[in-house]
Amino acid sequence: MLSSKFRFFQLSLSLSSSSPKPPKNAIFPQIVAIRARIRSQMGSPAYTTSSRLLFRQLFEKDSSTYTYLLADTSHPDKPALLVDPVDKTVDRDISLVKELGLKLVYAINTHVHADHVTGSGLLKSKVPGVKSIISKASNAKADLFVEPGDKIVFGDLFLEVRATPGHTVGCVTYVTGDGPNQPQPRMAFTGDTLLIRGCGRTDFQGGSSEQLYKSVHSQIFSLPKDTLIYPAHDYKGFSVSTVGEEMQYNPRLTKDEETFKNIMANLNLSYPKMIDIAVPANMVCGLQDVESKAL
Ligand SMILES: N[C@@H](CCC(=O)N[C@@H](CSS)C(=O)NCC(=O)O)C(=O)O
- ipTM rounded to 2 decimals: 0.99
Look at residue 46 in the predicted model and tell me its pLDDT. Answer: 55
Any alpha helices (H) in 116-271, and if so which ranges? 120-126, 209-215, 243-249, 257-265
The residues lining ligand 1, judged by C-beta closer than 6 Å to any ligand atom, are 63, 114-115, 192, 198, 200-201, 233, 235, 267, 269, 272-274
Q: Residue 250 C-alpha to ligand 1 middle, in angstroms?
A: 17
Q: Which whole-number Å values give the CA distances from 125 to 15, 94, 106, 139, in the listed order?
A: 57, 12, 13, 22
Closest among 107, 223, 226, 211 to 163, alpha carbons compared: 211
Whether residue 262 is contained in a domain is answered as: yes
CATH at 273: 3.60.15.10
Question: Is 175 within 8 Å of 164 (Cβ atoms)?
Answer: no
Asked whether residue 47 is domain-assigned, the answer is no
Atom of ligand 1 nearest to the CA of 198: 17
Q: What's the Cα-to-Cα distance from 230 to each of 28, 125, 175, rounded to whole Å? A: 35, 27, 10
CA 95 to chain centre: 21
Which of 235, 266, 273, 279, when mutated, tests ligand 1's pocket best, judged by the most ligand atoms within 8 Å of its CB?
235
Distance 195 CA to ligand 1 centre (A): 11
In a domain, 277, yes or no: yes
Burial class, 156, CB count within 10 angstroms (exposed 0-12 / middle 13-18 / buried 19+):
middle
All residue ranges of the chain with pLDDT < 70 are: 1-49, 287-295
Domain count for the chain = 1
- Report the amino acid identity of residue 68: Y
Q: Output the pLDDT for position 33.
A: 47
- As a 3-state breakdown, the chain gives helix, strand, coil percent values, each rounded to 5, of 35, 25, 40
The answer to whether residue 198 is domain-embedded is yes
Query: Distance, CA 166 to ligand 1 centroid (Å)?
Result: 14
Task: Convert the pLDDT of each residue in 220-244 to its tens digit.
Answer: 999 999 999 999 999 999 999 999 9
Check residue 295 and report its DSSP letter: -
**What pLDDT does 10 receive?**
29
Q: Looking at the domain assignment, is residue 196 inside a domain?
A: yes
Closest by alpha carbon to 212, among 287, 267, 146? 267
Q: What is the pLDDT of residue 288?
A: 54
Range of the domain at 83: 53-287
Other beta carbons within 10 Å of 142: 24
